[in-house]
Amino acid sequence: MSRWQIGDVKITRVVELEMAGGTKFILPDATPDAVADIAWLKPHFVDDKGELIMSIHALILEVGGRKIIVDTCLGNDKERLMPAWNMRDGPFLRDLAEAGYPREAIDTVLCTHLHVDHVGWNTMKVDGKWVPTFPNARYLVAETEFAYWDEQGDNDFGPVLQDSVKPIAEAGLYDFVDLEHQVCDEIRLQPTTGHTPGHISVHISSKGEEALITGDFLHHPCQMARPDWGSSADYDRDAARATRRRVFDQYADKPVLIIGTHFASPTAGRLKRDGDAYRLDV
Ligand SMILES: [Zn+2]
């Protein structure tokens, strides 16, 4: 577990899965040879074999009595194509409670987008049925994101919409919001579309301090050094590339903590200009 404080906002990271390798399908350009040229990625983000280290975690934002969980990872008991993601039986909810957040205490669930590794704990299996994991929460999702997937249907990863998205709609717990929605005084959404049509990042500002939770507009810090490296999961590669360049330019050399949704420990740092690209200072 890691914690950061941005003014009045306490940010807690609860990890579901952190591992090296098996990431080729996400970032096909980031081969061991190619990342060997980016020395600063070691030791936190690339291992000795040149494999990318990545994390799937949730971030809990606590401010003024609010308890907001950003992205809900993979979940347990779900049928998925990827072996490491299939029929999991992990201690995520226990870890969340031990961090101070029993699931009943969460008042807001915020999904940066509706991919398989961001919606899993939206639901849990009880008596053979998918029920909302966070019964006292409103679930926020960008209206354009929901509309796209509602139209598109499930993809190759498994019945993600069926087991993790639609049960929330049936329970009447969704609030559909625009891409710049203000969640509370300190927290607002920032549109970072391209990876998916309604993808958002989460901007935090309090008492003169600032942070950005990336979501998947980038998956790994290597894309700071190589902004043109796209993800095979990007819905619109050109738009995704343009978003990376625009957001990097916006936050480079600013006192803003960049918290990566898939960045391995230590997960957060400052974005610095480095030649004609960028690096993460941790
Ligand atoms: Zn993801």
User: Residue 57 Cα, ligand 1 centroid: separation in angstroms?
Assistant: 10
User: Residue 72 Cα, ligand 1 centroid: separation in angstroms?
Assistant: 10
Structural contact between residues 74 and 105, judged by C-beta atoms closer than 8 angstroms: no
CA-based R_g, the chain, Å: 18
pLDDT (tens, 9 = 90+) of the chain, 282 residues, equals: 799 999 999 999 999 999 998 777 899 999 999 999 999 999 999 999 999 999 999 999 999 999 999 999 999 999 999 999 999 999 999 999 999 999 999 999 999 999 999 999 999 999 999 999 999 999 999 999 999 999 998 877 899 999 999 999 999 999 999 999 999 999 999 999 999 999 999 999 999 999 999 999 999 999 999 999 999 999 999 999 999 999 999 999 999 999 999 999 999 999 999 999 999 999
How far CA 25 is from CA of 22, 173, 239, in Å, comes to 7, 33, 20
Hey, what CATH class is 2-281 in?
alpha beta
Contacts within 8 Å (CB) and 24+ apart, 84-88? 84/17, 84/19, 84/22, 85/116, 85/117, 85/157, 86/158
Neighbouring residues of the ion ligand 1, judged by CB less than 5 Å? 117, 216
Q: Where are the domains of the chain?
A: 2-281
- Residue the block writes with tokens 């249907």: 153
User: Residue 94 Cα, ligand 1 centroid: separation in angstroms?
Assistant: 22
User: Residue 117 Cα, ligand 1 centroid: separation in angstroms?
Assistant: 5
Buried b (16+ CB within 10 A) or exposed e, 128-156: eebebbbeebbbbbbebbbebbeeeeeee
Structural contact between residues 68 and 106, judged by C-beta atoms closer than 8 angstroms: yes
User: Residue 277 Cα, ligand 1 centroid: separation in angstroms?
Assistant: 23
C-alpha to C-alpha distance for 20 and 14, rounded to whole angstroms: 18
User: Residue 63 Cα, ligand 1 centroid: separation in angstroms?
Assistant: 25
